[in-house]
Amino acid sequence: MKGIRRSVLLAVALVALASTSARANTITPTNGVFAPGVSMSYTTFMTSGELHTGDGFTIFDFGGFLGVLAMPVDWTASTSLVGSPFGTPLGTDHTAVRNVHFTYGGLSVEVPGLMIFAPFTVRTSSMATVSDDWVSRDHLLATPGTIDGGPSVAKGNILVPVPDGGSTAALLGSVLFSFGMLRRKFSKS
C-alpha cells in the first residue's frame, strides 16, 4: 500500500512540475493554395507559447517573387537574398533567390493553445513548386500571465515556387526542339 501511494504521489508531483515548466511551441507555416503564375498562400499556426514583437518566420528560396498580396494585421513582410532574422535553413540558402520574411509587430501575447493566422499570400510568376526550407522564431510559454519566455526556433520543409519560374526548362525545351528541326533538315539533304 505504501509503495502504491508513493508511486501515485510521485506521478502527481511530476505532472505538477511539467505543468509549471516551459512548454514547447512554434510558428509553423504549412502548404496552402498554389495558383501557378499567380500566388502561393501559406496557412500558419502557433501552438502554446508567447508571440513577441519581432518574432516571425522565413520561407527560403521563393522563386518568381513579385510581392506580397495578403497577410494578417500586425505583420510585415520583407525579403533578402541571403539569410533570415529568425535562424538558418535546414539545407542550402540559394543566394540568387529571394527569402521572404514575415515579422510580427503587434503587442507581445501569450498563446495558451492553438492560434491560426489568416493566410500569408505571396505573388509569384512561377508555374511549379519544389520543396525547400522554412525557419521560425517565437518564445516559450513560461510563467502564465507574464511575458517572460525564452526564444524558440523551429525549422522544416515546405513547398515553394520553383526559383526560376520554369523559364529555364521552357528555354531548354525550345532549344532541343530547334536542334531536332535542324537535324531533321540536314539529314534529308
CATH (domain of 140): 2.60.40
pLDDT for 164 equals 66
Q: How confident is the model at residue 49 (pLDDT cuts 50, 70, 90)?
A: very high
Question: What cell numbers appear for 68 in the block?
Answer: 506580397
Mean pLDDT over all residues of the chain? 82
- Residues 6 or more apart from 119 whose CB is under 8 A from it? 32, 33, 41, 42, 43, 44, 70, 71
Residue-wise pLDDT tens digits, 118-137: 999 999 999 999 999 999 99
Is 102 a domain residue?
yes
Is 184 a domain residue?
no
How wide is the angle at C-alpha 91 spanned by C-alphas 90 and 95, nearest 5°?
120
Is 9 a domain residue?
no
Is 34 a domain residue?
yes
Range of the domain at 90: 22-167
Q: Residue 25 CA to chain centroid, in angstroms?
A: 14
Residue-wise pLDDT tens digits, 167-179: 444 444 444 455 4
What is the rounded average pLDDT of the residues 39-49? 93
Number of domains in the chain: 1
Is 1 a domain residue?
no
Residue-wise pLDDT tens digits, 84-119: 999 999 999 999 999 999 999 999 999 988 999 999
- Residues 6 or more apart from 37 whose CB is under 8 A from it? 124, 125, 126, 127, 165
pLDDT for 40 equals 97
Q: How confident is the model at residue 163 (pLDDT cuts 50, 70, 90)?
A: confident
